[in-house]
Amino acid sequence: MAPDTAVRAGDEPVDLGALRAWRLARLRAELQARDYAGVLLYDPINIRYACDARNMAVWSLHNAVRYVFVPTEGPVVLFDFHNCAHLSAGNAVISEVRPAVAWYYFSAGSRCRELAGRWAAEVADLVTRHGGGNRRLAIDKCEPLGCAGLAARGVEVFDGQEVMELARRVKGPEEIACLKASVAVCEEAIGAMRAALAPGMTENELWSILNQVNAARGGEWIETRLLAAGGRSNPWFHECGADVIQAGDMVSFDTDMIGPYGYCADISRTFLCGATEPRDEQRRLYQLAWEQIHFNMQLVKPGLGFRELAEGAWRLPASCQANRYSVVVHGVGLCDEYPAVVYLEDFGAAGYDGVFEAGMAVCVESYIGEEGGHEGVKLEQQVLITETGIEPLSTFPFEDALLRKEI
């Protein structure tokens, strides 16, 4: 994936050179706005955004083996895993690849302090060389030993995750093409899941189809295992297991799929298992979830405040309040991203304000499960905010059989 050549993702052309240039410019604009000399990134998703260098992403989420230094002005230096410099060949964003200094305990053991000092000296040297006298460095993840080492060398550390979330919030044309490619793969997988769903299969067997299609179509990983059938679908957040799906069960799932080019397809659907008529209660729950996401989708537009959305959002029935989902709307890009808009009831504890902008991609969420009820319905739509409203990115159809009856 390194060369800056134009490739195709589904029906959308993706120019990797343009994609990388857009993202790097967004990142540097945020650094400049905060008067930072640069940013040091460990999170593999942030590394992917900054320089499009992919290497063992899931493993490096919990092993601090690679990082990248992005100066506000100057050459981008990638510190990669042992003997991996060749992976970035042809990537014009990256000026230099060096071996990473791994100083976390698994790798360094009793030499942590020594190796952290070597790491801090190399990072501080880059700040000196390319900061123009500015010693203010943003970092997304760093253990206390590293922060202390930088401070001892006169480098002032700031929050890099804020920088990255705000840079990533607005999507450029090539990012939108990547999102559409990921959604296309995801919806192919959802269709295969729907076709395969039958009484007697396990939740794990059904979930494996999403993983197989994603991998076969160039996708990368699945962030969760959120699929549950029948009584396991209420309350939400049971992960799929060996439980057998029965005829007449509703099966709810949330894809959380990192697809082609590292972009997320976050779509939720609920199916009915077997050739059986849905019960009135199942139709009622499904209709409520459908109403919630469609009502809230109509509210989303540029200039709308996050709290304003929470205040105007569709109101859950009292019987569903206790089991409400964690957010009404959240951003999406390389993963779930800024913003996270919570229910009005949760604003005092966890909410923050802001404004939706054209170019944001967001997911509109619904979970309907009554407190003490048997089943729950999970629906979610992924949309792009345009200058005038929204453009649906996810278009997989809803279940006609579950929408036929009035509440």
Q: Count up the domains in the chain and report the number.
A: 2
* CATH code, domain with 94: 3.40.350.10
Dist. CA 112–CA 391, nearest whole Å: 50
The verdict on 148 and 202 lying in the same domain is no
Q: In this structure, is residue 245 part of a structural domain?
A: yes
Please give the pLDDT value at position 407: 45
HEC profile of 28-60: HHHHHHCCCCEEEECCHHHHHHHHCCCCCHHHH
The verdict on 225 and 131 lying in the same domain is no
Q: In this structure, is residue 1 part of a structural domain?
A: no
Please give the pLDDT value at position 118: 98
Q: In this structure, is residue 231 part of a structural domain?
A: yes
- Residue 119 is given by DSSP the state H
The verdict on 230 and 191 lying in the same domain is yes
Q: Cis peptide before 392, with omega less than 30 degrees from 0?
A: no
For residue 357, give the amino acid letter: E
Q: In this structure, is residue 218 part of a structural domain?
A: yes
The verdict on 18 and 148 lying in the same domain is yes
DSSP string computed for 329-360: EEEESSSEEEEEE--GGGHHHH----B--TT-
The verdict on 142 and 178 lying in the same domain is no
Please give the pLDDT value at position 13: 72
The verdict on 158 and 180 lying in the same domain is no
Q: In this structure, is residue 305 part of a structural domain?
A: yes
Please give the pLDDT value at position 399: 97
The verdict on 154 and 200 lying in the same domain is no
**Of 168, 198, 224, which residue sits at a domain end?**
168
The verdict on 203 and 152 lying in the same domain is no
The verdict on 97 and 184 lying in the same domain is no
**Of 128, 147, 168, which residue sits at a domain end?**
168
What residue numbers bound the domain in which 160 lies? 6-168
The verdict on 13 and 141 lying in the same domain is yes
Q: In this structure, is residue 147 part of a structural domain?
A: yes
The DSSP element (H or E) to which 287 belongs, if any, is helix 280-297
Q: Cis peptide before 44, with omega less than 30 degrees from 0?
A: no
Q: In this structure, is residue 225 part of a structural domain?
A: yes
The verdict on 190 and 67 lying in the same domain is no
Q: In this structure, is residue 374 part of a structural domain?
A: yes
Please give the pLDDT value at position 20: 98
**Of 118, 133, 168, which residue sits at a domain end?**
168
Please give the pLDDT value at position 406: 53
| Tens-level pLDDT at each residue, the chain (407 residues) | 555 555 555 555 799 999 999 999 999 999 999 999 999 999 999 999 999 999 999 999 999 999 999 999 999 999 999 999 999 999 999 999 999 999 999 999 999 999 999 999 999 999 999 999 999 999 999 999 999 999 999 999 999 999 999 999 999 999 999 999 999 999 999 999 999 999 999 999 999 999 999 999 999 999 999 999 999 999 999 999 999 999 999 999 999 999 999 999 999 999 999 999 999 999 999 999 999 999 999 999 999 999 999 999 999 999 999 999 999 999 999 999 999 999 999 999 999 999 999 999 999 999 999 999 999 999 999 999 999 999 999 999 999 999 985 54
The verdict on 120 and 52 lying in the same domain is yes
* CATH code, domain with 280: 3.90.230.10
Locate 261 and state its tokens. Answer: 């080019």
CB 57 within 8 A of CB 220: yes
What are the phi and psi torsion angles at 358 (to 5°)? -60, 135
